[in-house]
Structure 1
Amino acid sequence: MAVAFFMGFYSGLPLLLTGSLLQAWMRESGVDLATIGLFALVGLPYTGKFLWAPLFDRYALPLLGRRRGWLLLVQLALAGAIAGLGWVDPAHAPWGVALAALLVAFLSASQDILIDAYRRESLAELEQGLGASLYVNGYRLGMLLTSGGGLILADFIGFRQVYALCGLLMASGAVITLWAREPQSAHGVPRTLAEAVVQPFLTFFRREDALWILAFILLYKIGDTMASHMTMPFYLDLGFSKTEIGAVVKLFGFWATIAGGLIGGVLILRLGLYASLWGFGVLQALSTAGFVLLAWWGRDLLGLMGVVTFENLSAGLGTAAFVAFMASQTDRRFTATQYALLSSLMGIPRVIVAAPTGLLAEWLGWPGFFLCCALIALPGLLILLRFRHWLA
């Protein structure tokens, strides 16, 4: 469980370095909202990571085993890429920023493949829900440190130095990788690359509800993801300073996320996965609608605290159940590939669907945009009815 938490931390650490922190740097450098929205496309590796995941199922490096050997190599390369991203100027070299951010996203997605496979193979079936909640809390802590802490530090030392520090922090993940124990490989792991590529997909798509499972994963958090992609420009446009955003949105909201993740892990054990996905999904949609109220209130710190607390609490609940659901749908023989396929679909809203959110916000205005994001979450909830006979 401790390894699940710490690996979650290093998995979440790079995500917002190409997301909200980079958005704040670009906005401060004078980049327009439409371009900031299009920069979501640098996260394409998160949606296509199943394409190279079979390599991690098939091959093992000479040292540290099938999972940890690759993980150590990827983490060190990722640390260097993060530090390098800080040396590119968004105002004068936007294409250079895009390429550097794309490299960070590719290595970060590769790390996610390995960490997800490690957690799935290391925990027993009954431990997946609680392990997912601890992983989510670690993930959120990593995001907090690089986004909230990064924003506060940027006011004092600048963005370039922030990225250098984040690169050093990422390198420390090697300590956890060396400390963790290699999980035992399941019987029947692929022995050829062709088998590693073909068998995971054949095994999964032979299931009766395979396409419905993929649709659910694509849609369950789509509204929440679209809304969160534009919250940073939203807060800045309301007049909040970077320090206020870092302190309230990231630090204050962090404790609500921790509570949501832990409560979610317990409730999954008590209520079951089906009821948890329903309840947490409804709360996610309501929390997204809360941003409509904040848009009407304007610059109000108490309103910001209330909306952020509710949003982070529901996000912690929903993500814990969502991650546990995806883990439960994978075969231990092909964990890296199947989990990468499912989590890639989860990343599509963050990258492809989120890309035009800047244009949507300019067209609808902030209240209309967040209301649209709340309503778009409904189809994913309705798909859950299809799973009741085997998930409830």
Structure 2
Amino acid sequence: MLPLGFSSGLPFLLVFGTLSAWLREVGISHAEIGMLSWVALAYSLKFLWAPLVDRYDAPVLSRLLGRRRGWMALSQLVTALGLVGIAMSSPQVTLFFTIGSAALVAFASATQDVVIDGFRIDAAATERQGMMAAALQLGYRFAILCSGAGALYIAQFVNWRSAYLSMAALMGGGLIGTLLAPRLDGGPARKHVPLAAAIVEPLADLFQRKGMMLIPIFLLIACFRLPDFVSGVMANSLYIDLGFSKADIANVSKLYGVWIGIAGAFAGGLALTRLGLWWTLFIGAFIAAASNLMFSWLAIEGARLDLLMLTISIDNFASGFAGSALIAYMSGLTAPGFAAAQYALLSSLYALPGKLIGGASGFVVDAYSYPLLFTGTAAIGIPLLILCLVIRRDTMVGELEKVQAAVAPAPALATDSRA
């Protein structure tokens, strides 16, 4: 799972933050950089083709490796091919080829995520899933360091083409993990739920349990990470425009910032145990939005390394904290029997609006300025806090029901340990 997690995490920044730094350096407009972020929509829409990947074999490779490993190998090879395509392109001359290669990377990488998650669930019993997920996340974090800080270092001291070719070569680590993984395709073929039913039934269950409260719940989830997504699109462009070197960006944003984000995630987890879900969600909504004011300040002050460190510290900590709160909240909304499908739909809901709006952020910068953009995204915190107040009673009741269920005695006649 460690190399598979690495392979899963490596492509994301290469079609998102890191690529935007390259494009801005060669003079691509803010509007075009913002729209390029739409290629990452593949990560939000992967639930649409996940049933097809789960049901059908990958050409040729599934016969050799089995269905799961065949799709993993194919998606890793296509991802590497797309990264080579980005490396061989010249964005200032052949921007459409760069965008097409980035879209190929995003689609193949999102498909890889679907297959790796399916393999992880099939490969180990429930009691070992925590260990599997921990190994996956550790590999993912290592990949973020490589595709963020590592790629920027190579671009600084060699060139961008070498950076992306190096990243394509590193996808070989995931391929090794695929070849070492056990083949899990034995036994009778599984029956698959039709795609329409797989989407409609989990939604129907949510409406049945939550009723009209589901409207503010969906609004909260859809808007919760908007400030993060917008800042993620334009932050690297801001750093380049202010005059920070790629090494400075790598050191502060991509290396130091990753660990601050991990600290924020741990702080969010601690707050969940100490303060409860609703208060953690409320605090996370406030600090994640308000932290964008730091980018406005940085844009006004200019290339101050001390202010860059302070901005990254506050923003990454707030993002990690808010992420833990949102994951816990969405997990609590799921029901037994629909947990995987409902979580996939909810996670797509929170990611999709951010990527759509983030794609238009470049137009705001071109028409107005960086400070106005980031002040506007910080203002999203106001309706977020109002939505948190609207759902407070529902969240509190949900927490109380889970506590009561946890301490309730088992039925006297129950013989199944899952009762």
Common fold by TM > 0.5: yes
Q: 2:11 aligns with which of 11, 14, 19?
A: 14
Q: CA deviation at 1:304?
A: 0.8
- What amino acid maps onto 1:191 in structure 2? K
Distance 1:238 1:90 in 2: 21
The structure whose Rg is larger is 2
Matched residue SS, 1:223: helix
- Please identify, of 382-391 and 37-46, the stretch whose mean Cα deviation from structure 2 is larger: 382-391
Structure 1 counterpart of 2:404: none
Percent identity at matched positions?
Answer: 35
**RMSD between superposed Cα atoms in Å:** 3.4
Does structure 2 conserve the Cα–Cα contact (< 8 Å) formed by 1:40 and 1:351?
A: yes
In structure 2, the residue matched to 1:79 is 80
> C-alpha distance in 2, partners of 1:117/1:213?
28
How much has 1:35 moved relative to structure 2? 1.4
Quickly say closer, same or farther: Cα 1:213–1:132, change in 2 above 3 A. farther
1:225 aligns with 2:229: yes
Distance 1:310 1:363 in 2: 27
**Per chain length, whose mean CA-contact separation is higher, i.e. which structure has more relative contact order (CA < 8 Å, sep 6+)?**
1
The aligned amino acid for 1:142 is A
Q: CA deviation at 1:192?
A: 3.6
Contact 1:190 1:333 in 2 (8 A): no
Residue 228 of structure 1 deviates from its aligned partner by: 1.9
Which one of 225, 241, 248 corresponds to residue 237 of structure 1?
241
Task: Say if 2:12 is the partner of 1:43.
Answer: no
Instruction: Give the Cα–Cα distance (whole angstroms) in 2 for the partners of residues 326 and 68 of structure 1.
Output: 30
Give the partner amino acid of 1:204: L
**Correspondence for 2:27:** 30
Contact 1:117 1:336 in 2 (8 A): no
**CA 1:266 to 1:179, structure 2 compared with 1: closer, same or farther past 3 Å?**
farther
**Number of equivalent positions:** 384
Other-structure match for 1:145: 146
CA distance in 1, matches of 2:67, 2:196: 17
Tell whether 2:163 aligns with 1:162.
Answer: yes
Offset, 1:28: 2.1
Hey, what does 1:284 align to over in structure 2? 288
Deviations 1:273-304 (A, max 9, x none): 43332222222122222222222322211111
Between the aligned partners of 2:141 and 2:234, the Cα distance in structure 1 is: 18
Q: Is the 8 A contact 2:153 2:250 kept in 1?
A: yes
| Structure 2 length-normalised TM | 0.79
For the residues of structure 2 that align with 1:68 and 1:333, how far apart are their CA atoms?
26
Q: Which moved more, 1:286-295 or 1:62-71?
A: 62-71
Consecutive unaligned residues of structure 2, counting only runs of 5 or more, are: 401-419
CA contact (8 A) 1:268 1:321 kept: yes
Q: For residues 235 and 13 of structure 1, what CA distance do their matches in structure 2 show?
A: 22
Distance 2:25 2:375 in 1: 27
* 1:41-100: CA deviation from partner (whole Å, max 9, x where unpaired): 222322322211222444575677775553343223322222222111111111111111
Flag the 1:318–1:69 CA change in 2: closer, same or farther, 3 A: farther
Structure 1 position 19, deviation (Å): 1.4
Partner of 2:300: 296
Once the two structures are overlaid, the 10-residue window that deviates more, 299-308 or 133-142, is 133-142
| Residues 15 and 377 of structure 1: CA distance in aligned 2, closer, same or farther (over 3 Å) | farther
Q: Aligned to 1:369, which of 357, 369, 373?
A: 373
CA contact (8 A) 1:14 1:108 kept: yes
Give TM-score scaled by structure 1 length. Answer: 0.84
Write the letter of the residue equivalent to 1:199: A
d(CA) in 2 for partners of 1:82, 1:337: 31
